[in-house]
């Protein structure tokens, strides 16, 4: 059942820094930044819920073309617990309700539930991450349904499977949903990192959901990073709305400066300016300037200076 309801220095920076960005960038919380902190994706309070069904087919398109509802496209990357090393061949078991809030097979017990595709695994599927840890999901935005006397917010169920760890049973929610505050699972503090923003484009809602598992980075990734030396990695999520994480690797102890600049080459926020140890570090930027004020949506440049190493990445705030 659905309820409707800045001179010269700047010019030099733009000539050199942006070229650096072009050379190193892959396009696909300022003063409150946290370093060396990587939060793993949390288990949902309701875990899988009551409608898990083993045996779903492997496919990235869960909704048939004729499936009623608002089309939805999700992309993301699954990372190890350093928040920077992608994990390949992670299995994502995904399912959700249809536009009317019904799960497949409920049509057999609820005359208000429909299944236009007629298949047993409607809006269900298995997706595996590629060699870069990335995945794509195309479906519809789930509808609302009553859970007792209250409607559950629109949500997607996931079981994330990776060798050596327990399955991650969780749920994904959407920013601005009117039922999040009244839902015990969606309103729980642990769910904050699983509430994502959607942006409409060409009549399709687009969202980004990155997953971090509590597993050590693959040894080959560690060895590759060490050979590459000091390196600024791409922030994630990117684009971002509230907070984004900036991973970096130091081949040796260095005095490190990490700053965010706007398109005019003006320094917006200093994320790091201190001596740091060798190894992997992660910094959070909450989209604020050095005075703690939220910056406008747009394109920004994150520039790392550490000894002789200088590198820039492009970040987009939406």
What ranges do the domains of the chain cover?
A: 8-38+217-317, 71-212
Strand order in the sheet with 309-317: 267-276, 254-261, 298-306, 309-317
State the pLDDT at residue 255: 95
Model confidence at 66, pLDDT cuts 50, 70, 90, reads confident
Residue 50 vs residue 295, higher pLDDT: 295
Whether the predicted pLDDT of 72 surpasses 60? yes
Whether the predicted pLDDT of 109 surpasses 90? no
User: What are the tens digits of pLDDT across the range 155-170?
Assistant: 999 999 999 899 999 9
Identify the DSSP state of 22.
H
Model confidence at 283, pLDDT cuts 50, 70, 90, reads very high
State the pLDDT at residue 76: 92
State the pLDDT at residue 158: 97
Model confidence at 264, pLDDT cuts 50, 70, 90, reads confident
The mean per-residue pLDDT over the stretch 48-75 comes to 91
Residue 27 vs residue 118, higher pLDDT: 118
Alpha carbon 186 to chain centroid distance? 17
Q: Which CATH class is domain 71-212?
A: mainly beta
Check residue 105 and give left, alpha or beta (phi > 0: left; psi -120 to 50: alpha): left
State the pLDDT at residue 256: 95
User: What are the tens digits of pLDDT across the range 7-55?
Assistant: 333 333 332 333 333 333 322 322 233 345 688 999 999 999 878 889 9
* Options 2.60.40.2550, 2.60.40.420, 2.60.120.40, 2.40.50.1020; CATH of 8-38+217-317: 2.60.40.2550
Rounded to whole angstroms, how far apart are CA atoms 282 and 73?
28
Give the position of tokens 């930044």: 33
Model confidence at 226, pLDDT cuts 50, 70, 90, reads low
Same fold for the domain at 8-38+217-317 and the one at 71-212? no
Whole-number average pLDDT of the chain: 84
State the pLDDT at residue 192: 94
């Amino acid at each position: 059942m659905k309820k409707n309801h800045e001179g010269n220095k700047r010019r030099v920076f733009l000539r050199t820094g942006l070229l650096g960005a072009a050379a190193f960038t892959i396009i696909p919380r300022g003063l409150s930044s946290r370093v060396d902190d990587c939060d793993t994706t949390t288990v949902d309070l309701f875990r899988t819920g009551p409608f898990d069904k083993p045996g779903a087919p492997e496919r990235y398109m869960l909704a048939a073309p004729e499936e009623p509802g608002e089309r939805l496209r999700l992309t993301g990357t699954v990372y190890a617990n350093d928040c920077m090393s992608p994990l390949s061949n992670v299995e994502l078991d995904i399912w959700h309700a249809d536009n009317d809030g019904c799960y497949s097979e409920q049509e057999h017990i609820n005359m208000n539930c429909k299944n236009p595709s007629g298949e047993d695994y409607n809006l269900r599927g298995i997706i595996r991450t590629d060699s870069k840890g990335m995945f794509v999901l195309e479906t519809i935005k789930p509808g609302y349904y009553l859970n007792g006397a209250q409607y559950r917010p629109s949500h997607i169920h996931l079981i994330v499977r990776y060798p050596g760890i327990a399955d991650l049973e969780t749920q994904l929610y959407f920013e601005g949903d009117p039922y999040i505050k009244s839902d015990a699972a969606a309103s729980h503090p642990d769910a904050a990192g699983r509430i994502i923003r959607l942006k409409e484009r060409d009549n399709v809602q687009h969202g980004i959901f990155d997953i971090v598992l509590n597993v050590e980075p693959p040894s080959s990734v560690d060895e590759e990073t060490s050979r590459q030396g000091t390196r600024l990695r791409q922030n994630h999520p990117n684009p971002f709305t509230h907070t984004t994480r900036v991973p970096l690797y130091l081949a040796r102890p260095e005095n490190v400066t990490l700053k965010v600049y706007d398109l005019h080459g003006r320094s917006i926020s200093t994320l790091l300016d201190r001596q740091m140890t060798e190894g992997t570090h992660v910094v959070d930027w909450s989209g604020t300037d050095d005075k703690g004020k939220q910056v406008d949506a747009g394109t920004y440049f994150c520039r790392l200076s550490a000894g002789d190493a200088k590198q820039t990445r492009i970040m987009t705030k939406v």
